[in-house]
Amino acid sequence: MADKQTPQAAVIEVVEKRSRRQGGDGFAGVIVPNEIRLNGQTLLAPKDPPVRLHEVTLDDQSLVLATLTLFVRRLTVDIEEPEATDE
């Protein structure tokens, strides 16, 4: 029997990339994001609308839901059948 992988939550990084020459720590500590990464992969995203974060608390677990608008080259919505087993 094939091992079933448990679905994992995505790792989303919303960061401000700047060179060391720019220095300082932003405008009074404000971060202006200019890069979005999903599981380590940099993504193309429009300037507007912004990333929206929604805090969720379920059974003593602190979670965050994120709403992103991204540029997509290809989007597939399909059905996957489980692999046949030799049983």
- Per-residue pLDDT reduced to its tens digit, 2-29: 557 888 888 889 888 876 665 555 555 6
- Kindly tell me the burial class for residue 80, based on how many C-beta atoms sit within 10 Å of its own C-beta (0-12, 13-18, 19 or more): exposed
CA count, 13 A, side-chain hemisphere, 53: 7
The first and second tokens of residue 71, run together, are 């540029």
- The per-residue pLDDT for range 28-65, each reduced to its tens digit, is 567 778 889 999 999 988 888 778 888 777 776 777 88
- Residue 1 has a pLDDT of 47
Residue 77 has pLDDT above 90, yes or no: yes
Cβ distance 52 to 45 under 8 Å? no
State the Cα–Cα distance between residues 74 and 87, nearest whole angstrom. 36
Strand partners, 53: 66
- Residue 4 has a pLDDT of 72
